[in-house]
Each structure stands twice: as C-alpha cells, then as structure tokens.
Structure 1
Amino acid sequence: MDHKKATDGDLWQYCQNDDMQAYNELFSRYYPRMFRLACRYVPDTMRAEELCMDQLFHLWVKRHEIRIISNFSSYLFRSIRNRIISDMRRHIPVMADLEELAEEQQLDRPSDYRLLSAEVEYSYRAVLNELSPQRRQVFTLSREEDLTYPEIARRMNLSVNTVENYMVAALSSLRKRLKENVPSAIIPLLLLSDFPSLL
C-alpha cells in the first residue's frame, strides 16, 4: 500500500492496527501545521514543539482507545488546541480571574463558572457574527482549519495581501469588542476559536 496516497481515515485505521508507517505518514502530514499553530500562542518555540510532540505521541500510545468520530484533521487540531489552552492556563492567571469574580459576586463557584462560560461563548459568537462574511470566513479558515494565508487566498480567490488585511481587521474587531464583555486574560484563549468545545 502507498501510504502517501492513503486518506487520513485509512491511515488512522492502519495505525490502530499497529502500522508504524501509517503513523509516520500522519506525523509528517500534520506536525508542521500543528507546530505553526502552537507557535502563534506559545512564545517559546521549544515548548511549542514539545506540546505538538506530546500530542502526537499520545495519539500513538492511545491508538487502540481513541475513537475519532469527526474527520481526522478536525480531531487532531481540536486536541492540540486543548493542549495549548491547558498550557496557557498554567502561564496566564485565567483561573485567578474567575475565582476573584466568584468571590466578588459571592456566587457558588460551579454555578459561576457555568454562567461565565455561557456569557463568554455568547459574546464570542455575537462578535464573530458581526464581522463581514469574508472577514469571518478568513478568520475561520485560519483558526479552525489552520490554513496559511496563501492557502486561504487560493481557496477564496483573493490576493494574499487582501487575506492579511481581512485577518488583521477581524482580530482587531474581536479583541476590541471582547474587551467590553470578557475578562482580558481569557481573550487569548478565545482567539484560538474553538472556545465553546474547549472550555
């Protein structure tokens, strides 16, 4: 079998049957994009590399237990986002902000967390929907599919410069509007874009 021509789904099935070549092919397909994504949010490139390697190693170790219902790339990028967010939470005082909010409002902690989660998700989605359709699509392709600007430009039939301008404008709008409703320490996590399923 030619591993390079196999689909992600087929390669994952072979991995579950202990095919190391299939795993190596998935690794070579996805590690560069995962690393690029991690470097956006983790300033230490060695730490970013470590997070990606850990996630891919976890994939191999747990290959007999992991059930991937969605497509493989969606699962993989969701999992690395989870790992990045966990790492960011260790270095950004997000939990402290939440605890202070709970103390100030004298609310039960689990209830307060659920309330904040719902409010943050609502704010994020509302701000995202306020973007123009093209800016929203550029942002989504960049953050959810981890496409590069040239890849987005080809898909949307735009120039790379236009894609860059749309992305800058989208990020500026999101940061500005989110600051009005969301604790500032949480904003970097939101801009990972998969927020509701990761919180």
Structure 2
Amino acid sequence: MSIVNYIKAGDHVVFRETFLQWQPKAYQYFMLKVKDEALSKELTQLTFIKLWDYRHTLSEDLSLETQLFRIARTTLIDTLRAKAQQRKAQLYVLKESKEEFVHPVTEVDTEKNIINALNSLPPVRKQIFVLSRLHGFSYKQIAGKLEISDRTVEKHISLALKQLRKVLSAFF
C-alpha cells in the first residue's frame, strides 16, 4: 500500500511521518514565495491541515509530493486573495470615513483599529458587512444566504458604515 493510500485510510502515524518529512520543504516553498516567516509557518500548517481534511480526495495515480504542493499552491493563492480582500475592505472603510488624519498612524495600528471597529458591530451586522465588503457577495446573495430581505441587508450595511465611521473617526 502506498503512502497516499495510508493517508486516505486515516493512518495518523503515516501522516505524522509525512508531515515531519515534508514540512521543511513546504515551509521553504512558502518562504521563497512570501518572504515572511510567520506567514510561511501559517501557510505550511494550513497546507497539512487541508491535506488531512481532504485526504479522501487524494489520487493514487499522483505522487504525494505533487498533490501536497498543489494543495500548498492553492493555499497560498487563497490566503493572498483573502489578504487582498482585507486590504480592500480596510481602504474602503478608510475612504468612507472621510475623516482627515489627525496624527500619523502605522499600518499595523490601522489594521488593529479596523479589526476592533468591525468586532464592535453586532454579530449579524458584522456578518452581513463581512459578506458584502470582504467576500464580495451582493445584497441579494446575502439575503438568500441569511434568509432575510434585501432591504434588511441594505439597512445593516448602512448602519454598519455609520457605526464604523463613528468608531474609526476617533482613531484618525
């Protein structure tokens, strides 16, 4: 039986050995791509989590290395897309606040302030705002997903923007 078959069968020992063998190579792959230690470690962990979670989809016809690095590549792409969406949302919130900077603020401070502002939203409003602004869902898609009216989604977005402007204006 091949390593792929053992992993597909849920063999924890073989998976652990595979992790120990391939983790340094996966980490090196990510370091070459993103040049960030913390992000590379995170991406490496996500890759092996996905390998385990989707082990049933592994193919016996392809080498484990090929399949592992396909997962690594898609993990990298997904993460970079999510980070780009997050930056896009941050810029949108900043642009919408229409407030002048009172003092210089670092990018890290800005990100923390935006995350705190988002976390201050009521749970449903935050969920709707994130679906709309970070994930690009339309009001109609959100309404269908949450089983509410389009108008309710629109109202939540409007209230979220007002609240975010108010909260963020204290920081900028």
Q: Confirm or deny a common fold (TM above 0.5).
A: no
- What TM-score results when the alignment is normalised by the length of structure 2? 0.44
- What TM-score results when the alignment is normalised by the length of structure 1? 0.38
